[in-house]
Amino acid sequence: MRRLGVVLLTAALLRVALHLVWQPELVGDAADYDRLARGLAAGRGMLDADGDPTSFRPPLYPLLLALWYGPLSAGPRAATLFQIGLDLAAVAVTYSLARRWLAERFALVASGLVAVNVAMISASARLLSESLFTLLLVLSAWLTVRWLDAARDGDPCGGRAAALGATLGLATLTRGVLLPFVPLLILVAALSGRRLPRGSLTLLAVFLLTLAPWTIRNARVHGALVPVTTQVGITLYAGFAPPGGVFGLQPQDSAVQRVEHLPEAEQSRALTREALRVAAADPVRTAGLELRKAVYFWSPVDWEILPRYGTFNPTYAWTAALAIAALLLASGPVPRRRDLWPVWLPVLFLFAMALVFHGSPRYRLPAEPLLAVLAGLGVRAWTHRWGRRASVASLAGLAALCLLATAFSDPLRAWAGTWVR
């Protein structure tokens, strides 16, 4: 535990240091979250810029910001301290999850990769939901493993299933993209050979109960079923009709202008239909967009989270390389690939959702602690196959290559932009 304390202290110092030297501007999503949080703290509820009730943003992150803003009279800068705490919790949960399969030194590698993850450090300084969603996602993976362990031991696993359902519900209230994940999780658990009827029903019931207050509020506000967010339509449309070919921007074309007069929920449905029409109208163009989404999702060049636009992300590159090693070198003491599904299933799910909407480092970031667990397994497999001394040398060389790529990130960015275009 002393070594884990060192990892946590390192994580805290890196985040506090960035907090002291860098204050990102409140623009885009961050400005919207700040506005919503101030409205909630003042007791006005979730209102859009015109003062009307809105469900465009999922509610949990602005609600927690409001709780931080209110009693402490705090603002965006102080909210960074709250997000640093979320990151430290994510480091600790990653360690505990990795210990399910790994000795302490390899679990420390996994948690250490989260501690020094430059994207997570940068996200903690921004007023964005990434830190909260990342913690809830890795916590749900940890609870999934505990749920399966209880089922294997013959425990009815009602308590662990309920905790998992509540955590997934809170994660969905942070990012609505997770809504389809629960039925997928239950299906994969059933296919893994576990008999989990009672636990699965408990999980699903608690998940739905966690969403219920917000869903009922949305039905009253919009007169329609909106489980989490009305953001689906514009996000889906932006993924298949990106303005100027750039993902992540909100279109302002004629299709969007035609529905601006509609109520929020109807706008979302209309833009969803338009996105499907655009995708089906030109399959070749759509296939090209899907390829770009895949490249953007896995790209080590970050243009959204890091302080400097277009910087190569060395910690993600190193983590991803070791995670690939874990999957390729699954032999000896390394668990079988199928046993690792609670870790890789959320990663693949987020990738699939990126193909539906749009791929970017922000979509991938919450999965990076899970990739770090796989990276710890990769280091273990590497050491088992080639020995400790050779492994240390090769891993140090890999880290050096990642840092070298960071130093030359500008020409790499230019090359990548030329290739994608």
Q: pLDDT category, 419, cuts 50, 70, 90? A: very low
Task: Compare 23 and 92 and report the one with higher pLDDT.
Answer: 92
Please tell me the predicted confidence (pLDDT) of residue 420. 45
Over residues 185-201, mean pLDDT: 79
Map out the domains of the chain as residue ranges: 230-281
Please tell me the predicted confidence (pLDDT) of residue 191. 81
- The 10s digit of each residue's pLDDT in 230-247 is 999 999 999 999 988 778
| DSSP summary character for residue 178 | G
Please tell me the predicted confidence (pLDDT) of residue 368. 96
Please tell me the predicted confidence (pLDDT) of residue 407. 63
Neighbours of 394 (CB within 10 A): 12
- pLDDT exceeds cutoff 80 at 339: no
Of the candidates 144, 101, 4, the residue with the CA atom closest to the CA atom of residue 376: 101
Please tell me the predicted confidence (pLDDT) of residue 28. 87
Q: State percent of the chain over pLDDT 90.
A: 54
Per the prediction, the chain carries an average pLDDT of 86
- pLDDT exceeds cutoff 60 at 332: no
Over residues 172-193, mean pLDDT: 90
Please list, residue by residue across 204-229, b when 16 or more beta carbons sit within 10 angstroms of its beta carbon and e when fewer do.
bebbeebbeebbebbeebbeeebbbb
Q: pLDDT category, 404, cuts 50, 70, 90? A: low
Provide the β-strand partners of residue 47: 53
Please tell me the predicted confidence (pLDDT) of residue 128. 94
Q: pLDDT category, 333, cuts 50, 70, 90? A: very low
Over residues 200-215, mean pLDDT: 95
Please tell me the predicted confidence (pLDDT) of residue 415. 57
Query: Which amino acid would we find at residue 374?
Result: L
Of the candidates 334, 358, 136, 116, the residue with the CA atom closest to the CA atom of residue 236: 358
At 312, give phi and psi (nearest 5°).
-70, 135
| DSSP summary character for residue 336 | P
Over residues 114-126, mean pLDDT: 94
Q: State percent of the chain over pLDDT 70.
A: 85
- The 10s digit of each residue's pLDDT in 40-79 is 988 888 999 888 999 999 999 999 999 888 765 567 777 8
pTM: 0.92
- pLDDT exceeds cutoff 70 at 156: no
Question: Is the CB of residue 145 less than 8 Å from the CB of residue 187?
Answer: no
At 49, give phi and psi (nearest 5°).
-65, -20
Q: Tell the burial category of 245 from Cβ atoms under 10 Å away from its Cβ (0-12, 13-18, 19+).
A: exposed
Which ranges in 126-253 belong to alpha helices (H)? 130-152, 158-172, 181-191, 197-222, 232-240
Helix (H, G, I), strand (E, B) or coil at 184: helix
Question: Is the CB of residue 141 less than 8 Å from the CB of residue 370?
Answer: yes
The vertex-316 CA angle with 311 and 320, nearest 5°, equals 135
Please tell me the predicted confidence (pLDDT) of residue 252. 86
> CA-to-CA distance for 303 and 413, rounded, in angstroms?
10
* Contacts made by residues 320-323, CB under 8 angstroms, sequence distance 24+: 320/371, 320/375, 321/378, 321/398, 321/402, 322/374, 322/375, 322/376, 322/378, 322/379, 322/382, 322/395, 322/398, 323/371, 323/372, 323/374, 323/375, 323/377, 323/378
- pLDDT exceeds cutoff 50 at 358: yes
Please tell me the predicted confidence (pLDDT) of residue 345. 95
- The 10s digit of each residue's pLDDT in 243-255 is 887 787 788 888 8
Helix (H, G, I), strand (E, B) or coil at 281: helix
- pLDDT exceeds cutoff 50 at 421: no
CA 318 to chain centre: 18
Query: Which amino acid would we find at residue 91?
Result: V
Over residues 378-400, mean pLDDT: 68
Place of tokens 């420390």: 108
